[in-house]
Amino acid sequence: MSDGMTRIVEVYRVDPDGGEGERVGQVAFGADGRLDLLDAEPDMMARLAEAVRAVNAKGQITELVPPEDAPEKFQTAARVTKRDAPEFFDALSRYMESYYGFSLG
């Protein structure tokens, strides 16, 4: 996050059927690119705390994406986003949704 400010973000459980997710907590996304758990529904506290701990331990987010010049179907490439990159929050959001079932914002 390049502006040096903390952003307060609502956390939602992803609805696997594509509906609106249920709010399960709130985190702060700090200037250092790390999350602080501020609040969570009691039944989601442990799961959300573990997700926050796990992503905060990463120095970067690695996503599998289609390669830009893929001649073959089903090929993938890796996109690496370092914690200090301006687009880190977006990569972190996609990662949290894909791996933990939580949507940020």
Q: Say if CB 9 and CB 105 are below 8 A apart.
A: yes
Digit-by-digit pLDDT tens for the chain (105 residues) are: 445 689 999 999 998 777 778 999 999 999 999 999 999 999 999 999 999 999 999 999 998 887 777 666 667 888 899 999 999 999 999 999 999 999 998
Distance CA 46, CA 63 (A): 25
Q: Is 2 within a domain?
A: no
Dist CA 79 CA 96 (whole Å): 16
The domain of 78 spans: 7-99
Residue 17 lies in a domain: yes
84 lies in some domain: yes
Full-model pTM: 0.84
Residue 1 lies in a domain: no
- Distance separating alpha carbons of residues 52 and 70, to the nearest angstrom: 34
Q: Is residue 16 part of a domain?
A: yes
* Counted domains in the chain: 1
